A and B are shown apart, each in its own frame.
Chain A
Amino acid sequence: MMRVEVLFFGKLVDIAGASLVLNNVTSTDELLEQLRLQYPPLAAEKFIMAVDKKTISINTSLTDNCTVALLPPFSGG
């Protein structure tokens, strides 16, 4: 069984909490699909994803025990 930890940052924490664990997701696209089903407001949010602390720009396959982070942009100063 695949175990993937998901970390949320910024405003996304208000939607999904600080972190959660998903099982049996094999790619970042799949992970996004599951998260949006579970947390519909996520669909309206802008964020980037990082897999094991490396930012990604295309669908990326996930491995057992990997960590996916979702980061929204901040503009405050």
Chain B
Amino acid sequence: MNNDQLYERYQRQLILQGFGAEAQQKLLSASILVIGAGGLGCPLLQYLVAAGLGSIGIVDDDVVSLSNLHRQVLYNVQMIGRPKTDCAVEVLRQLNPQVKFTVYNERLTNKNAATILSAFDVVVDGSDNFATRYLVNDACLLLNKPLVYGAISQYEGQVAVFNVQQNSERSANYRDLFPHPPKEGEVLNCAEAGVLGVLPGIIGSMMANETIKLVTGTGTVLANKLFTYNTLNNQTYELELSKRSETMSLIPATIDALQQTDYEWLCSTASLVNEIDATVFNELIAEGKTAIVDVREKDEQPVVTEFSHIQISLSQLQQHASWLTEDTIIVFCQTGKRSAAAAKQLTELFSSSKKIYSLKGGIQQWMQQQKQTV
């Protein structure tokens, strides 16, 4: 592409006061790593690619599914079943062929994080789980990379820019905000709680905006700040983050230590939980001597009418555990995550006096399997 075409492509931002050719050149020389090509990743990638970033890396190990399409706007029905990274790059190349893409069709892990992150100037986290979020934060601290953060839940989103060099200091990071990862099931994820498609569009676009500002030095980024947005009432709330004295002690001291840190385990329920599949579940229902507990919140969909059960949400479980007099208890939720946490709580509570099971894959998977077997 010649200079005339380059000028034409970026003309509207080149003539923008406070941006111009110098900022455009900074974008062209920058390399950005986008973690997660999902709800946040799609708008992020579209705007970064359109703006003329020089080099973009994409990490994602997932494939496109039909339930992604209401919010992951890079994809279409023809792409279902194909890796998101491949599909994203296919679309993005057509948008801007000058961008250099590096694709990591794999999960970001404690083993590959340092190598992947090292190759980029700025890391942008649009992942969908705490294990990845803490891993990315800690790796960015160890590698001195600024981290653009965004996360969503139901109708609300959060945006921040972590670990930015300001004067002689690095700005606050994710662990200054939330020092310890919650256990799986303590906090709902999108698959469990649902999300309106526009929300990641808004939050992902804000992350792209922060990234462009950070790279070009335009305006002020959300360093030492957490911005929150509520789509239901359009309320925004901006918090000032204070650094915590203990934060550095929570982060692995070296890359080697990071590679030894099991983030999946830190954020999960480990192996104490007995998970059962739909077949075993149906057998136990048929036996009829089992307490079956829906640990989802009241009014969560789908409503289960296929078998009798009681509802005690995960947050109420400790309080009402005495209701469970049967020797065998099966807990279920939407996808099997909260029920795993519930099973762990009950196992700790009753130790070996009761058998506790969690329905693997949750009621969603169970219902799908029932449809297939009918």
Bound complex: CA A54 to CA B224 (Å): 10
Evaluate whether A71 and B239 lie within 8 angstroms (CB atoms) in the complex, with A55-B177, A77-B36 already known: yes
Contact A53 B238, beta carbon cutoff 8 Å: yes
Contact of A74 among B36, B153, B244 (CB under 8 A): B153
Any A CB within 8 A of the CB of B162: no
Interface size of A by CB at 8 A reads 26
Given A40-B319, A41-B316, A55-B177, does the pair A74, B158 have CB atoms closer than 8 Å?
yes
Scoring A14, A40, A76 by chain B CB atoms within 10 A of each residue's CB, the highest score goes to A76
Q: Does B187 contact A (CB under 8 A)?
A: yes
Q: CA–CA, A74 to B155, complex, Å? A: 11
- Tell me which of B37-45, B47-55, B83-91, B271-279 binds A: B37-45
User: Is the CB–CB distance between B126 and A77 below 8 Å?
Assistant: yes
Minimum CB distance partner of B36 in chain A: A77
**In the complex, what distance in Å separates the CA atom of A45 from the CA atom of B153?**
15
> Measured between alpha carbons, how far is A19 from B230 in the docked complex, in Å?
14
* Chain B residues near A53 (CB-CB < 8 A): 237-240
Chain A residues in 8 Å Cβ range of B230: 9
Complex Cα distance, B319 from A61, in Å, reads 31
A75 on interface, CB distance cutoff 8 Å: yes
Contact B240 A55 (CB under 8 A): yes
**Are A76's CB and B190's CB within 8 A?**
yes
Among A42-63, those with CB < 8 Å from B are: 44-46, 48, 50, 53-57
B154, A77: Cβ atoms closer than 8 Å: no
Check if B145 is an interface residue, CB within 8 A of chain A: no
Report, nearest first, the 6 A-B pairs whose CB atoms are least far apart.
A74-B151, A77-B128, A74-B153, A76-B190, A41-B315, A44-B315
What would 14 A/B residue contacts be, using CB atoms closer than 8 Å? A7-B237, A9-B230, A9-B237, A11-B153, A44-B318, A48-B177, A54-B239, A55-B176, A74-B153, A74-B156, A74-B157, A75-B133, A77-B41, A77-B200
Note all chain B residues with C-beta closer than 8 A to A14: 297
In the assembled complex, A69 has its CB within 8 A of some CB on chain B = yes
B window 277-330: CB within 8 A of A: 297, 313-316, 318-319
Q: Give the docked Cα–Cα distance between A48 and B174 (Å).
A: 12
Considering the complex, which residues of chain B in the window 1-60 have a beta carbon less than 8 Å from any beta carbon of chain A?
36, 38-41
Interface residues, chain A, with chain B CB atoms under 8 Å away = 7, 9-11, 14-15, 40-41, 44-46, 48, 50, 53-57, 69, 71-77
Contact B130 A73 (CB under 8 A): yes
B237 proximity list for chain A (CB < 8 A): 7, 9, 53, 69
Q: A7–B297 Cα gap in the complex (Å)?
A: 21
Nearest to A7 among chain B residues (CB) is B237
Contact mask for chain B residues 214-241; partner A; CB cutoff 8 A; 1 contact, 0 none: 0000000000001010100000011111
Inside 8 A of B128's CB, which chain A residues have their CB? 75-77
| Chain A residues within an 8 Å CB radius of B81 | none
| Cβ-defined contact, A56 with B190, below 8 A | no
A40 to B316, CA, bound (A): 8
Residues of chain B within 8 A of A40, CB atoms compared:
319
Given the interface pairs A14-B297, A48-B177, A55-B240, the reply to whether A73 lies near B182 with Cβ below 8 Å is: yes
Tell me whether B242 is interfacial, beta carbon within 8 Å: yes
A11 pairs with B187, CB closer than 8 A: yes
Task: Out of A7, A9, A15, A74, name the residue touching B187 (CB < 8 Å).
Answer: A74
Q: Note all chain B residues with C-beta closer than 8 A to A15.
A: 315
Contact A55 B41 (CB under 8 A): no
Q: Knowing A53-B237, A53-B238, A55-B240 touch, does A77 contact B127 (C-beta < 8 A)? A: yes
